[in-house]
Amino acid sequence: MDYLAHALWSIIIFHKTKKIKWAVLFGLLPDSLSWMIYMFYNLLFNGFQRGAPHLESIPDWVFTLYGLSHSIIICAIVFGIVYLILKKVPLYMYAWPVAIVMDIPTHSKEFLPTPFLWPFNVYFDGISWGNPWFMLVNYSLIGIGLVWVYKNLKKRKNSV
């Protein structure tokens, strides 16, 4: 799924959380820890480039970060460490595994399949989120979800 969609779905799903900004950050975490870092690296060393990069030109460390940040196994380990320290896992952190689960069916094996069981090479051949019909459906559902969130927040505000 694309970066903006992850942010918006995090708002929709976690809008009742007191720390919604943290939920959005955790929803963006998998892509931020790989592609956002690569984007800044690329800007620094190669300047601004239009269009998607060729996979062959992307350094291996980006794919390692992609695997780490999109792995349910790594996510579970981090949650376990957080639980040992805090004796709970904050609700907003669940936006991270939600983002991973959303990526599994929305990436095809042809282009950046989600390594959800990294370090094991297990992939699901989903539908590319870049397909125009998928984008239309996805953003239509996001629009409906945001209207629903707005109405719920307005209703809650009026009842207080």
Q: Which residue has the higher pLDDT, 24 or 57?
A: 24
Confidence of residue 160 (pLDDT cuts 50, 70, 90): low
| pLDDT for res 152 | 84
pLDDT above 80 for 96: yes
| pLDDT for res 47 | 78
d(CA 32, CA 37): 6
pLDDT above 80 for 159: no
In the chain, % of residues over pLDDT 90:
73
> Which secondary-structure segment (H or E) carries 142?
helix 132-159
pLDDT above 90 for 137: yes
Given a contact cutoff of 8 angstroms between Cβ atoms, the answer to whether 30 and 74 are in contact is no
Give phi and psi for 25, each to the nearest 5.
-60, -45
pLDDT above 70 for 100: yes
Task: Map tokens 């963006």 to a residue.
Answer: 28
Confidence of residue 107 (pLDDT cuts 50, 70, 90): very high
d(CA 112, CA 114): 6
pLDDT above 70 for 84: yes
pLDDT above 80 for 157: no
d(CA 149, CA 15): 7
Q: Identify whether 115 is preceded by a cis peptide bond (ω within 30 of 0).
A: no
pLDDT, the chain, mean: 92
d(CA 33, CA 68): 9
